[in-house]
Every structure is written in C-alpha cells, then in structure tokens.
Amino acid sequence: MASPLSLGVLISGSGTNLQAIIDTIERGELNAVIRVVLSNRGDAYGLARARHHNLPTVVISHKDFSSREAFEAELIKTLQDHGVELVVLAGFMRLLSPFFIRAFPQRIVNIHPALLPAFPGTHAQRQALEHGVRISGVTVHFVDEEMDHGPIIAQAAVPVYADDSEESLSARIHAQEHRIYPQAIQLFAEGRLEIRGRLVVIHNEARSPAATLRSPEPS
C-alpha cells in the first residue's frame, strides 16, 4: 500500500467532520495520517477530540496578527512544518485569501452543507429552508480562489421536509458529511482525482505514479 497521505485539518468549532476522518482512519478505511489539527479558536471543541486521539494541535488566532497575510503566513508555515500534503477544511470559519490558496495548489479541500452552486456562504441550511427547496445536501470540493466554488469531488443529497428546522436539516446533512468527506479524501490519497478545468475526473483505479496530485512538478 502507498504511504499514508499527510493531512492538516483546519477547524473552528465542534469538529464532527474531524472526528469522522479520525474514525475512518482508525478503522483502516482511509490511508491517511493527521499531522496537525489547526484551529483559529482556542475553545474549539474539535481540539479536545484531536487531543483525545493524541493528535498534534496548534491554535493560531487571527486576532494575534495585524493582517490577514501575516495570519495566513503562520498557517502556511505550520502546515509545511508538519509535512502536510492535503489541507482539509472542516468547519474553518475564516476566509482564506489567494495568498494561502496558492501555497497549496490543488491541495485544499472543503466541505459545504449544501448542493453547490446552490447556497454558498454561511447559514447554507437556513438559506435552503428559506428558499423552499425540497432537496439539499453536501458538497466536497477543491478550494479555488472564489468562495465555495472550486471543482466538485463528491455530493450527497438529503430531503428537506416541511417541518424541518435548521437543526433537523443540519443533522441530516451532517450524517452525509461524515460519510462522504473521508471517502473523498481516500480518493485523493489513492491518486484517483484529476482536475480538468472545473471538472474533477475520478479514475477507476489508482494511477501510477500513485498520486499525480501528490507529486506536482515544481513551478
């Protein structure tokens, strides 16, 4: 088996997606290792989850930096120092600028609680309820320089019921998030994802060399 993919997971809150990734790795279904869990908030519950599994944690508060670039430079350095190959955004509530994104070309993934391109931005579940859609869901995508916009790796749909609250819809969406985020990361780890423009092609078999995206030519 190929060596495990080195992940850096960025969180700001509860970290249930982080937990799903940890559990999937521990079950042997995701060939990855979490090198660092990074939070911009010291009180993020996800940090406790990480520590419970003896994973390294780092808190970098945006409030300690005079500019977005200085904050992001510290994030980049921390991720690089830990040898991170794929940056996994899991409820990280800071917008990342092109400066950060260019430091990890095609190596940042995000999960969004709606079927993009519908309902980008915050409160996607509330947006779905207010719009009256009958179906919403989850999107895992590569991060590009526009918010909630990059090439789509995986999606899952959930029904929206007339009596749904934001909480009940969020719970249904979360269950799908916890299933498809680790699966999408495993596809990356197997080198099966290829970005062609705005599309992601999923190859049937792991490619040789094992992961094209993991071994880019230096620019």
From 8-16, 23-31, 64-72, 78-86, give the range in contact with ligand GRF by CB under 6 A.
8-16
Catalytic residue among 52, 53, 112, 203: 112
Residue 5 and residue 31 in contact, taking contact as beta carbons nearer than 8 Å:
yes
Residue-by-residue DSSP string for 136-147: EEEEEEE--SST
For residue 164, give the amino acid letter.
D
Distances (CA, A) of 4 to 1, 7, 18, 32, 219: 8, 9, 17, 4, 24
Which CB sits closer to ligand GRF, 10 or 189? 10
103-129 exposure pattern, b = at least 16 Cβ within 10 A, e = fewer: bbebbbbbbbbbbbebbeeeebbebbb
By CB under 6 A, tell whether 13 contacts ligand GRF.
Answer: yes
91 to 130: interface string for ligand GRF, x by CB under 6 A: x-------------------xxx-----------------
- How far apart are CB 217 and ligand GRF at their closest, in Å? 31
Tell me the site size for ligand GRF, rule CB under 6 A: 11
Of the candidate residues 5, 10, 17, 32, the single one contacting ligand GRF (CB under 6 A): 17
Q: Which two tokens stand for residue 208?
A: 């040789």
User: Interface residues with ligand GRF (CB under 6 A)?
Assistant: 13-17, 90-91, 111-113, 177
Catalytic residues: 112
